[in-house]
Chains A and B, each alone.
Chain A
Amino acid sequence: AQSVSQHNHHVILSEAASLELGCNYSYGGTVNLFWYVQYPGQHLQLLLKYFSGDPLVKGIKGFEAEFIKSKFSFNLRKPSVQWSDTAEYFCAACRISGNTPLVFGKGTRLSVIA
């Protein structure tokens, strides 16, 4: 079965620390990859996505993610986190055809402390 794994359930960082959240997906073929963020009390919003082209994708608020096909990975990074980055982060993947659904990981809670 298709699955998306996020290795860290809860990450705690100090402001200005660098962030990397891991994401791996289990299935082959051509996939679209997404990172969504859910700030406390707010709705899920798209942070960035990879459909094709440059495997290094830049998103909003200084986030970026790198698609490494050989590792089935799509890790999220930010060089210097801020307190306002405290949120839950979800990785998701979907095959681009075959009427397959978008599959989400369990999410990683990021807490940034001053």
Chain B
Amino acid sequence: ETGVTQTPRHLVMGMTNKKSLKCEQHLGHNAMYWYKQSAKKPLELMFVYNFKEQTENNSVPSRFSPECPNSSHLFLHLHTLQPEDSALYLCASSSLAGEGDTQYFGPGTRLTVL
């Protein structure tokens, strides 16, 4: 248990569905991250939030829409996804973004797009 929780742990959705992934951190951190983990590829950074402000959008398609209402919560809204978007989506948090601080990861949401 790292203090970062993610729900749901598994999600199956069709290409026309809209769903959201939720992440919550209980570590008092100010930075939160979304990563995509696909088989045989490095972890891909998707979004970074520092003090609720988005500081990085790593050329992610607009069908992924992040939301950070406060420093403890991070959402990833999904709509009209493609089968190639099937992957493990990981949330992480750290004290600050951009300072090389240790990131703590949640268990991930295993997403399958049919």
Contact = CB atoms under 8 A, between A and B. Distances in A.
B49 interface: no
Interface string A35-46: 010000011111
> What's the interface size class on B, roughly?
20 to 34
> What's the interface size class on A, roughly?
20 to 34
Interface string B77-114: 00000000000001010000111101111111000000
B105 A44 contact: yes
A62 to B, nearest CB: 20
A107 B42 CA distance: 7
B48 A46 contact: no
A84 interface: no
Nearest to B56: A101
A34 to B, nearest CB: 7
A84 B55 CA distance: 38
Given A42-B107, A101-B48, A4 B102 contact: no
Interface of A: 4, 9, 31-32, 34, 36, 42-46, 49, 51, 90, 94-107
Among all A-B residue pairs, the 5 with the closest Cβ atoms: A99-B98, A32-B100, A44-B105, A96-B100, A43-B107
Given A44-B92, A46-B104, A106-B41, 7 more contacts: A34-B102, A43-B4, A44-B90, A51-B100, A90-B43, A102-B45, A106-B42
